[in-house]
Amino acid sequence: MTARPSLIVHGGAGELSEGDDPEGVRQLAGCSTAARAGFEVLRRGGGALDAAVVAVRCLEDDPLFNAGTGSTLTVDGEVECDASLMSGDGRAGAVGCVRTVRNPIELARRVMERTPHVFLVAGGAEEFAVECGIEKLPPGALVTAAMREKWRMAVAQRSASRSGGTVGCVARDAGGQVAAATSTGGMLLKRRGRVGDSAVIGVGTYADDLAGAASCTGAGEAFIKALAAKSAVEAMRSGAAPDEAAQRVLALVRRFGGDGGLICVDAAGRVGFGFDTARMARAWIDADELEGSGFKAA
């Protein structure tokens, strides 16, 4: 089967604040760069999973986003990353509460490929990373000065936990296979050990070659209760277009008191998204190779 590949990435749903416009422009550029890097993999005949990992890795390495380098901080001032990925053929891997790995999405992939498990967390995941030959970072290596300052202000103001800047990608390759990948530092001022939706297969990430794939961003606890990504894929299975599937999931998430966004690709390669926050950076390249991007609502 030869299909026309397509892909969409997100750089996280969140609220607007002062200074967000210049940051929005930079986030858009970051999302477009990641989308092009992932699409290049597809254009050369690579698989959807490879493309999604390349795009998410690109966003993890960009300190503007809340994933990998630049991750948000726990109430104790430390980074704890979550990431997951799924291929439409049913293979999946995930990690939670990982502090010493530059690219948590690569570790999630190793869990999928090199263990009989789906989900490793904290010390066990970090030990496995060392076994895989992944560089062990010293404490604080993923903390940026900007995020440390944001954390200081949040602690001083005793602000409630907020998320924003989670990253993700969904793709469909020339073989018609789909994949999804998601990575995050989670919520600012979260408790140590808290795991959000981004690490959970079926919630932050889901893919099924017969229906489509989805990657979510937003208030993790509500997305968990809504089984968000799987719900989006089921909506596409029953004929909803990707944009419509995203809207249905957001309605479910709101019932649990949360907000956020998600990106979707269906089995026919149509890409779509939805969000009910003020912003969600996103960029896509569709099956006609047309590029698009946005930051605020259209």
CB-nearer residue toward ligand GLY: 83 or 265: 83
Catalytic residue among 69, 166, 205, 277: 166
Cβ nearer to ligand GLY, comparing 67 with 174: 67
* Residues 99 and 119: beta-carbon distance below 8 Å: no
Footprint of ligand GLY on residues 139-168 (CB under 6 A)? 163, 166
Rounded to an integer, what distance in angstroms lies between the CA atom of residue 28 and that of residue 15? Answer: 15
Pick 38 or 186: Cβ nearer ligand GLY = 186
Q: How far apart are CA 134 and CA 100, in angstroms?
A: 10
Among 198, 205, 215, 293, binds ligand GLY (CB under 6 A): 198
User: b vs e for 15-38, b when ≥16 Cβ sit within 10 Å of the residue's Cβ?
Assistant: eeeeebeebbeebbebbbbbbbbb
Among 184, 215, 247, 277, binds ligand GLY (CB under 6 A): 184
Kindly state the DSSP code that residue 289 receives in the 8-state scheme: -
Grouping H, G, I as helix, E, B as strand and the rest as coil, residue 285 is strand
Query: Is residue 70 part of the contact set for ligand GLY (CB under 6 A)?
Result: no
Total residues at interface with ligand GLY (CB under 6 A): 11
Element (H, E) at 82: strand 81-87
User: Cα 66 from chain centroid?
Assistant: 10
Q: Which member of 50, 197, 208, 259 binds ligand GLY (CB under 6 A)?
A: 197
Does residue 217 bind ligand GLY (CB under 6 A)?
yes
166: annotated active-site residue: yes
CA dihedral 49, 52, 56, 59 (to 10 degrees): 150
Residue 6: C-alpha distances to residues 139, 191, 216, 243, 267 (Å) = 38, 37, 18, 15, 11
Stretch that binds ligand GLY, among 22-30, 45-53, 183-191, 277-285 (CB under 6 A): 183-191
Closer residue to ligand GLY, CB minimum distance, 103 or 166: 166
- Output the smallest distance, CB 114 to ligand GLY, in A: 25
DSSP run (H or E) holding 148:
helix 145-157
Only one of the segments 15-23, 29-37, 123-131, 196-204 lies at the binding site for ligand GLY (rule: CB under 6 A); that segment is 196-204
| Closer by beta carbon to ligand GLY, 11 or else 218 | 218
By CB under 6 A, is residue 186 in contact with ligand GLY? Answer: yes
Site for ligand GLY contains 200 (CB under 6 A): no
**Whole-number Å distance between alpha carbons of 50 and 81:** 21
Whose Cβ is closer to ligand GLY: residue 220's or residue 269's? Answer: 220
Q: Cα(285)–Cα(219) distance, rounded to whole angstroms? A: 27
Binding site for ligand GLY (CB under 6 A): 163, 166, 184, 186-187, 196-198, 217-218, 220
Instruction: Show which residues are catalytic.
Output: 166
